[in-house]
Amino acid sequence: MEYRIKELCKSKGLSIGELALKVDMARESLSRIINGGNTSTETLEKIAKALDVSIIELFKTDSKPLYGFIEFEGTIHKIDSLESLKQLVSLVEGEKPVSVLS
């Protein structure tokens, strides 16, 4: 998953270290998230609040006609095609997905 956190920090004049302090987490943990690591919705909400943006603004998106983000069992999944939506439906229904979504 790709996030816009670094870009948003730059636009707000914040360093990654300053943002980490605002959300009360280790800079290393925030860096892992920025570099595509999984995290909870709660943490993303804290980051969004600290940056004064909506949570959706944290995510990089393509200009494809179908895209969105769905949380399932604590993991946020990016939907960017009909195929990725079908894979998530399979995961939710308990079938073994063809590929990893997150």
User: What tens digit of pLDDT does each residue of 10-27 get?
Assistant: 999 999 999 999 999 999
- Tell me: do 52 and 84 sit in the same domain: no
Question: What's the domain count of the chain?
Answer: 2
- Tell me: do 46 and 33 sit in the same domain: yes
- Tell me: do 42 and 66 sit in the same domain: no
Range of the domain at 81: 61-102
pLDDT of residue 81: 76
- Tell me: do 12 and 42 sit in the same domain: yes
d(C-alpha 66, C-alpha 46), whole Å:
27
- Tell me: do 41 and 67 sit in the same domain: no
Which CATH number is 14's domain given? 1.10.260.40
Question: Binning pLDDT at 50, 70 and 90, where does residue 78 land?
Answer: confident
Q: Tens digits of per-residue pLDDT, 26-68?
A: 999 999 999 988 899 999 999 999 999 988 888 876 655 677 8
**Structure pTM?**
0.61
Residue 101 predicted with pLDDT over 50: no
- Tell me: do 11 and 51 sit in the same domain: yes
pLDDT of residue 102: 45
The mean pLDDT of 79-101, rounded to a whole number, is 74
- Tell me: do 28 and 65 sit in the same domain: no
- Tell me: do 40 and 11 sit in the same domain: yes
**Can you list the alpha helix ranges (DSSP code H) found in the chain?**
5-12, 16-22, 27-34, 41-51, 82-92
